[in-house]
Amino acid sequence: MAHKPTSEELDALIVYRDFKETSIQRINLHLTKGFIDRGYKVGVVGFSPEGEVRSEYPASTVFFDCGGLRSLACIRPLSRIIKATKPRAILSAYGPVNITTIFAARLAGSNATLAVSEHNQPVSLPLKGRPKGEYVAYKLMRYLYPFTTKIVCVSKGLKEDFVRYTGLAPDRFAAIYNPVVTDDLETLSNEPFDHPWVEDTATPLLVAVGRLDLVKNYDVMFRAIAKVHQQRPVRLIVLGEGIQRKNLAGEIKKLGLEDAIDMPGFARNPYSLMRRADLFIQTSEREALSNVIVEALACGTSVVSTDCRSGPREILKDGALGDLVPVGDEDAFVRAIIHRLDNPFDPSALIKRAQDFTVERAVNSYVELLFKGIQASPSDHVK
């Protein structure tokens, strides 16, 4: 059963599908904390109430859910929440959620600033093979995104892609980098990481972080590691979980790399491993931004990444702060790894670049976008 809407008016309503651990959920959490710290009263809607991240939100957050329904089935419950709370700004994330939020806001007759945010891979890439919800959302957005106040994209490249796809004027869009670098990232990176390979400094250690998914092209990464291993000993730790775990474990065994590649699973603090690694590597087919590359830079760790659309090139300053290789080119990836192991970047330059992706900067940009000319609620509404 859906959460009964409160009649208390809100400054902002943030909408997403649930409270499970995802990069978008982390972004929503950082934004909620930032808005509340600045005196705004914030409500957060999850189409489903499930998820471990919910417990990390500030105590003053007002929670709602739509009864665990699928996206389009949440239109009426969400419209009731919007009508009851009269938010002055609404922010949603992820294509299917954005479409539902637009329908709900119009059904509620809301005059709120309505911003939808896009965090996923560029729409210029083929829609075939995407989840059904994403496919439908991308088909509808050309018709529905004109009803928004602003469309937020997490990189300049992604913004350009959406401008081309929707045909809307560029000034309808805003490029705002994700709030990736937190105040405690440096402290967390100095914590110990429990893995025997970390202590063996004689063998170069590489790290990759991300869900075990086809789009990450881990098979390409593993074959490249096999080729590097023929020239010098290296080890790779892959942090993350996903539906490809069994297939990837089989690939490691097939390549005879059980002693060189380990997949220990999800780590709540990957930064402590990133800081101790000699190199961070990524072989993705596409990335809207790539939070993990930013995190590696913040830890002062050199990066080798595929030159996929559209985040890595933007983050790494066209290759000035990291190696970019063609997608799927194993031999180029091998050459880049060997070169960068011998010639690491200056960590201070990498850390400086990461400061463009701080939580503080992102929150300030969203405040300017959502609350321009809007005063925060009275202090008795916040923590």
pLDDT tens digits for range 190-247:
999 999 999 999 999 999 999 999 999 999 999 999 999 999 999 999 999 999 999 9
Domain that holds residue 234: 185-356
Residue-averaged pLDDT of the chain: 92
DSSP reduced 3-state for 381: helix
Confidence of residue 381 (pLDDT cuts 50, 70, 90): very low
Query: Residue 26 and residue 20: Cα distance in Å, rounded?
Result: 9
CATH classification of the domain holding 274 = 3.40.50.2000
**Does residue 5 fall inside a structural domain?**
no
244 and 162, same structural domain? no
**Does residue 142 fall inside a structural domain?**
yes
161 and 191, same structural domain? no
**Does residue 6 fall inside a structural domain?**
no
Query: Residue 336 and residue 105: Cα distance in Å, rounded?
Result: 49
Count how many domains the chain has.
2
Q: Could you report the per-residue pLDDT of 307-347, keeping only the tens digit for each?
A: 999 899 999 999 999 999 999 999 999 999 999 999 999 99
**Does residue 2 fall inside a structural domain?**
no
> What pLDDT does 130 receive?
65
**Does residue 3 fall inside a structural domain?**
no
Q: Cis ω on the peptide bond leading into residue 310 (within 30° of 0)? A: yes
Q: Could you report the per-residue pLDDT of 124-144, keeping only the tens digit for each?
A: 666 655 677 777 888 899 999
